[in-house]
Amino acid sequence: MPVNKICNHFEQNPKSDRLLGALYGSAGNGRISSAARADYADAAVKALTGAAQPGRTYELAGDVAFTLTDLAAEISRQTGKDTPYRDLPEADYRAALLGAGLPAWLAGGLASWDVGASQGALFDDSRQLSKLLGRATTPLAESVRQALALPR
């Protein structure tokens, strides 16, 4: 059976960010090409049902990249509450995650992934995901709305 490799990008949880009152990270102004879980799921179905090109590696990323400042602004817009992005040095972000109860391996991973994002590791403008889906990926505003479970 031919195998496709699917690499997804970053996901955010605006609901927890809203509860904290701010979005914390170490991503600076790094652009993140995230997509909605539903987009990733639709791509997996295509890969598993043979609609994808066998043996090809797909780098799955959203069509429009954003910064964590952009994400925080969208959360603020939709909730009506100021939710700023607080960029922290990697060690401080890791310490904050440890203080929130995350295990050391996860806190270290999340902090280093954010630093990677600041260096372009989560940016991709190839639009492979939308080509595979045959449609545009879900916009950031819709992903935030769904994550916050706000009515339309």
Q: What confidence score (pLDDT) does residue 150 get?
A: 55
Q: What confidence score (pLDDT) does residue 138 get?
A: 96
Q: What confidence score (pLDDT) does residue 148 get?
A: 86
Question: Does residue 9 have a pLDDT over 50?
Answer: no
**3-class DSSP state for residue 59?**
strand
Percent of the chain, pLDDT > 90? 62
Q: What confidence score (pLDDT) does residue 20 get?
A: 62
Class of domain 5-144 as given by CATH = alpha beta
pLDDT digit string, tens, across residues 40-94: 999 989 888 877 777 888 888 999 999 999 999 999 999 899 999 999 999 999 9
Average pLDDT over residues 36-43: 92
**Are the beta carbons of 39 and 33 closer than 8 angstroms?**
no
- The residue whose two tokens read 């509860």 is 19
Question: Does residue 8 have a pLDDT over 70?
Answer: no
- Give the C-alpha separation, 144 to 130, whole Å: 19
Strand 23-25 relative to strand 85-87, pairing = parallel
pLDDT digit string, tens, across residues 105-144: 999 999 999 999 999 999 999 999 999 999 999 999 999 9
Query: Which of these, 15, 111, 117, lies nearest to 61 by C-alpha position?
Result: 117
